[in-house]
Amino acid sequence: MNTQHYNSNATRNGFTLMEVLIVVLILGVLAAMIIAQFASATDDAQRTAFIANGRIFREQAKHFQLDNGVYPEDASSGTLPDGFGYYVQQNKWEGGTPIGGVWDAERDSFGLRSSIGVHFNGFGKTRDDAYMQQIDAAMDDGDLATGGFRKIADDRYYMVVVE
Protein backbone atom coordinates (compact mmCIF):
# COMPACT_ATOMS: atom_id res chain seq x y z
CA MET A 1 0.00 0.00 0.00
CA ASN A 2 1.46 3.26 -1.12
CA THR A 3 0.09 5.99 1.09
CA GLN A 4 1.36 9.49 0.84
CA HIS A 5 1.80 11.34 4.04
CA TYR A 6 1.76 15.10 4.17
CA ASN A 7 4.60 16.58 6.10
CA SER A 8 3.34 19.42 8.25
CA ASN A 9 6.85 20.87 8.29
CA ALA A 10 7.06 21.16 4.50
CA THR A 11 7.57 24.62 3.05
CA ARG A 12 4.75 26.06 1.07
CA ASN A 13 5.15 27.65 -2.32
CA GLY A 14 2.90 30.67 -3.05
CA PHE A 15 0.34 32.82 -1.33
CA THR A 16 -3.08 31.99 -0.02
CA LEU A 17 -6.10 33.63 -1.55
CA MET A 18 -6.58 35.71 1.61
CA GLU A 19 -3.03 37.08 1.43
CA VAL A 20 -3.48 38.06 -2.22
CA LEU A 21 -6.78 39.81 -1.45
CA ILE A 22 -5.20 41.78 1.40
CA VAL A 23 -2.36 42.95 -0.87
CA VAL A 24 -4.83 43.98 -3.59
CA LEU A 25 -6.91 45.88 -1.01
CA ILE A 26 -3.86 47.75 0.29
CA LEU A 27 -2.76 48.65 -3.26
CA GLY A 28 -6.27 49.90 -4.04
CA VAL A 29 -6.30 52.18 -0.99
CA LEU A 30 -2.86 53.57 -1.88
CA ALA A 31 -3.94 54.17 -5.49
CA ALA A 32 -7.06 56.03 -4.35
CA MET A 33 -4.97 58.28 -2.10
CA ILE A 34 -2.53 59.07 -4.91
CA ILE A 35 -5.31 59.82 -7.40
CA ALA A 36 -7.00 62.17 -4.90
CA GLN A 37 -3.71 64.05 -4.40
CA PHE A 38 -3.19 64.30 -8.16
CA ALA A 39 -6.72 65.60 -8.74
CA SER A 40 -6.23 68.27 -6.08
CA ALA A 41 -2.90 69.35 -7.58
CA THR A 42 -4.46 69.53 -11.04
CA ASP A 43 -7.32 71.69 -9.75
CA ASP A 44 -4.87 74.03 -8.02
CA ALA A 45 -2.80 74.31 -11.21
CA GLN A 46 -5.90 75.12 -13.28
CA ARG A 47 -6.94 77.83 -10.81
CA THR A 48 -3.43 79.32 -10.82
CA ALA A 49 -3.27 79.31 -14.63
CA PHE A 50 -6.69 80.99 -14.83
CA ILE A 51 -5.60 83.75 -12.45
CA ALA A 52 -2.30 84.30 -14.28
CA ASN A 53 -3.92 84.42 -17.73
CA GLY A 54 -6.69 86.70 -16.49
CA ARG A 55 -4.22 89.15 -14.98
CA ILE A 56 -2.22 89.19 -18.21
CA PHE A 57 -5.36 89.80 -20.28
CA ARG A 58 -6.51 92.56 -17.91
CA GLU A 59 -3.13 94.32 -18.13
CA GLN A 60 -3.08 93.96 -21.91
CA ALA A 61 -6.55 95.53 -22.08
CA LYS A 62 -5.02 98.57 -20.34
CA HIS A 63 -2.20 98.65 -22.90
CA PHE A 64 -4.79 98.35 -25.67
CA GLN A 65 -6.56 101.42 -24.30
CA LEU A 66 -3.33 103.41 -24.09
CA ASP A 67 -2.53 102.60 -27.73
CA ASN A 68 -6.05 102.91 -29.18
CA GLY A 69 -7.91 105.34 -26.92
CA VAL A 70 -10.64 102.74 -26.19
CA TYR A 71 -10.82 99.44 -24.36
CA PRO A 72 -11.25 96.15 -26.26
CA GLU A 73 -14.71 95.83 -27.78
CA ASP A 74 -17.52 93.77 -26.35
CA ALA A 75 -17.03 90.70 -28.58
CA SER A 76 -18.95 87.43 -28.44
CA SER A 77 -17.83 85.11 -25.66
CA GLY A 78 -14.84 83.07 -26.76
CA THR A 79 -14.11 85.43 -29.66
CA LEU A 80 -11.00 87.59 -29.58
CA PRO A 81 -11.98 91.28 -29.83
CA ASP A 82 -10.78 93.07 -32.99
CA GLY A 83 -7.20 94.28 -32.62
CA PHE A 84 -6.67 92.53 -29.28
CA GLY A 85 -4.69 89.73 -30.96
CA TYR A 86 -1.70 92.07 -31.09
CA TYR A 87 -1.74 92.11 -27.25
CA VAL A 88 -2.64 88.51 -26.35
CA GLN A 89 -2.09 85.10 -27.90
CA GLN A 90 -5.14 84.16 -29.92
CA ASN A 91 -4.95 80.46 -29.01
CA LYS A 92 -4.88 81.26 -25.27
CA TRP A 93 -7.97 83.44 -25.63
CA GLU A 94 -10.01 81.30 -28.01
CA GLY A 95 -9.00 77.93 -26.56
CA GLY A 96 -11.12 78.35 -23.45
CA THR A 97 -9.99 79.05 -19.91
CA PRO A 98 -8.03 76.55 -17.80
CA ILE A 99 -11.05 76.12 -15.50
CA GLY A 100 -13.72 75.72 -18.19
CA GLY A 101 -15.86 78.26 -19.97
CA VAL A 102 -14.50 80.81 -22.41
CA TRP A 103 -12.74 84.15 -22.12
CA ASP A 104 -14.83 87.21 -22.74
CA ALA A 105 -14.31 90.97 -22.92
CA GLU A 106 -17.04 93.36 -21.88
CA ARG A 107 -17.08 97.08 -22.64
CA ASP A 108 -19.67 99.45 -21.23
CA SER A 109 -21.84 96.65 -19.89
CA PHE A 110 -22.82 95.23 -16.51
CA GLY A 111 -22.07 98.64 -14.98
CA LEU A 112 -18.37 98.52 -15.93
CA ARG A 113 -16.42 100.42 -18.59
CA SER A 114 -14.18 97.41 -19.24
CA SER A 115 -13.76 93.91 -17.84
CA ILE A 116 -12.18 90.60 -18.81
CA GLY A 117 -13.48 87.30 -17.53
CA VAL A 118 -14.90 83.86 -17.94
CA HIS A 119 -18.33 83.07 -19.34
CA PHE A 120 -19.55 79.57 -18.56
CA ASN A 121 -21.61 79.11 -21.68
CA GLY A 122 -21.44 75.32 -21.95
CA PHE A 123 -17.82 75.10 -23.12
CA GLY A 124 -15.92 72.75 -20.79
CA LYS A 125 -16.70 72.57 -17.10
CA THR A 126 -19.06 74.99 -15.42
CA ARG A 127 -17.97 76.27 -12.02
CA ASP A 128 -20.17 77.40 -9.16
CA ASP A 129 -19.91 80.38 -6.83
CA ALA A 130 -18.01 78.38 -4.18
CA TYR A 131 -15.27 77.49 -6.66
CA MET A 132 -15.08 81.01 -8.05
CA GLN A 133 -14.98 82.47 -4.54
CA GLN A 134 -11.72 80.52 -4.00
CA ILE A 135 -10.32 82.30 -7.04
CA ASP A 136 -11.60 85.63 -5.71
CA ALA A 137 -9.91 84.97 -2.36
CA ALA A 138 -6.61 84.21 -4.12
CA MET A 139 -6.62 87.36 -6.21
CA ASP A 140 -8.93 89.87 -4.55
CA ASP A 141 -11.14 90.34 -1.49
CA GLY A 142 -12.92 86.97 -1.40
CA ASP A 143 -16.31 88.59 -2.09
CA LEU A 144 -17.80 88.01 -5.54
CA ALA A 145 -20.04 91.07 -5.16
CA THR A 146 -17.21 93.60 -4.68
CA GLY A 147 -13.61 94.32 -5.60
CA GLY A 148 -11.59 93.71 -8.71
CA PHE A 149 -13.00 90.23 -9.40
CA ARG A 150 -16.79 89.96 -9.49
CA LYS A 151 -19.73 87.85 -10.49
CA ILE A 152 -21.54 90.06 -12.99
CA ALA A 153 -24.25 87.59 -14.10
CA ASP A 154 -25.38 84.03 -13.39
CA ASP A 155 -22.62 82.40 -15.44
CA ARG A 156 -20.07 85.24 -15.70
CA TYR A 157 -17.11 86.12 -13.45
CA TYR A 158 -14.95 89.08 -14.47
CA MET A 159 -11.82 91.01 -13.55
CA VAL A 160 -12.48 94.73 -13.60
CA VAL A 161 -10.18 96.61 -15.96
CA VAL A 162 -11.79 99.96 -15.18
CA GLU A 163 -15.02 100.95 -13.41
The pLDDT score that the predictor gives to residue 155 is 95
CA-closest candidate to residue 136, choices 152, 154, 151, 155: 151
pTM above 0.85, yes or no: no
The pLDDT score that the predictor gives to residue 39 is 63
With 60 as the cut, is the pLDDT of residue 121 above it? yes
Res. 68 pLDDT band, cuts 50 70 90: very high
The pLDDT score that the predictor gives to residue 88 is 96
pLDDT digits (tens, 9 = 90+) for 37-50: 666 668 889 999 99
The pLDDT score that the predictor gives to residue 9 is 56
Residues 6 or more apart in contact with residue 118 via CB below 8 angstroms: 50, 54, 97, 99, 100, 101, 102, 103, 104, 156, 157, 158
| Out of 30-39, 53-62, 63-72, 84-93, least confident range | 30-39
Dihedral angle of Cα 73, 127, 159, 53, to the nearest 10 degrees:
-80
The pLDDT score that the predictor gives to residue 5 is 53
Looking at the chain, the whole-number percentage of residues with pLDDT higher than 90 is: 70
With 80 as the cut, is the pLDDT of residue 63 above it? yes
